[in-house]
């Protein structure tokens, strides 16, 4: 199998994520499995389809619900959740397509600071 990842993935990063389908109205919460500069892998019980676009709100530890940074992402892969092994839970890998003005820099600095200060291994 050829490794296609361009960016390191981080687990146990103190951020939360809410997502809303591009043409949707309400946000849903999702559990982050890993995150990188290029995208995010989440666990959800919601119906998510491959190639759908979502607006993400990524909130660093301690920020308010409506704050944080905003990004647009595309569902790239969906996998069964073999950890929970039920019929509704799944993992979805989303690729970041764009960030709001200046927010990619904030996000990159956050991940770099997390790496340098936490001692957490890069996955």
Low-confidence ranges of the chain (pLDDT < 50): 1, 119-123
Q: What is the mean pLDDT of the chain?
A: 83
Q: What is the pLDDT of residue 121?
A: 39
Q: Give the tens place of pLDDT for each residue, 12-44.
A: 888 889 999 988 888 888 999 999 989 999 999
Helix (H, G, I), strand (E, B) or coil at 56: strand
Residue identified by tokens 């647009």 is 72
Residue 77 structure tokens: 């892969």
């Amino acid at each position: 199998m050829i490794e296609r990842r361009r960016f390191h993935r981080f687990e146990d990063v103190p951020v939360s994520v809410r997502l809303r389908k591009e043409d949707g109205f309400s946000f849903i919460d999702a559990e982050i499995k890993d995150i990188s500069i290029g995208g995010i892998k989440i666990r959800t019980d919601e119906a998510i389809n491959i190639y759908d676009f979502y607006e993400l709100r990524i909130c660093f530890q301690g920020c308010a619900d409506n704050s944080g940074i905003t990004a647009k992402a595309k569902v790239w892969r969906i996998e069964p959740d073999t950890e929970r092994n039920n019929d509704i839970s799944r993992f979805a890998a989303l690729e970041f397509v764009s960030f709001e003005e200046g927010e990619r820099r904030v996000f990159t600095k956050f991940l770099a600071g997390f790496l340098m200060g936490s001692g957490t291994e890069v996955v």
